[in-house]
């Protein structure tokens, strides 16, 4: 089976496609933006990578979300739920973690199936 790497860099690829599955690296927004803008940026970047890989929001299998402050859970969900394909909700985990020291408030990674 082949492996396709999307936007490969020195340390990582932004996405990897293998065996009908797309794995996205963690996406972040600009550290100077507020939480909602960072979440929108993460989701927009993720959607673009899914499309580039041959997938779509409706094919997301799992979303992993790391918040610098779990107190932002409701604000993050407001943006996330507006973006989400509610007919095809994925499995999801959200936890609090020190994302980065530069003001990054959220990081988001996804696993999806290819569109057949």
**Residue 70: band (very low, low, confident or very high) from pLDDT cuts 50, 70, 90:** very high
pLDDT the model gives residue 109: 98
pLDDT the model gives residue 60: 98
Contact predicate 23/113, CB 8 Å:
no
Neighbours of 85 (CB within 10 A): 12
pLDDT the model gives residue 21: 98
The pTM score is: 0.93
**Residue 116: band (very low, low, confident or very high) from pLDDT cuts 50, 70, 90:** confident
Distance CA 21, CA 16 (A): 8
Question: Could you report the per-residue pLDDT of 80-97, keeping only the tens digit for each?
Answer: 999 999 999 999 999 999
pLDDT greater than 90 at residue 99: no
Question: Could you report the per-residue pLDDT of 4-35, keeping only the tens digit for each?
Answer: 999 999 999 999 999 999 999 999 999 999 99
Q: Would you state the structure tokens that stand for residue 57, as one six-digit string?
A: 């929001």
Mean pLDDT on 62-77: 97
Contact predicate 21/90, CB 8 Å:
no
Q: Cite the DSSP H helix spans in the chain.
A: 35-53, 73-83
């Amino acid at each position: 089976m082949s492996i396709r790497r999307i936007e490969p860099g020195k340390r990582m690829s932004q996405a990897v496609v293998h065996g009908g599955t797309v794995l996205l690296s963690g996406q972040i927004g600009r550290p100077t933006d507020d939480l909602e803008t960072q979440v929108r940026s993460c989701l927009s970047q993720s959607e673009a990578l899914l499309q580039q890989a041959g997938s779509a929001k409706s094919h997301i299998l799992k979303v992993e979300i790391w918040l610098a402050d779990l107190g932002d859970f409701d604000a993050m969900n407001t943006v996330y739920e507006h973006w989400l394909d509610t007919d095809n909700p994925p499995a999801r985990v959200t936890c609090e973690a020190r994302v980065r020291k530069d003001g990054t408030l959220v990081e988001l990674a996804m696993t999806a199936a290819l569109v057949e």
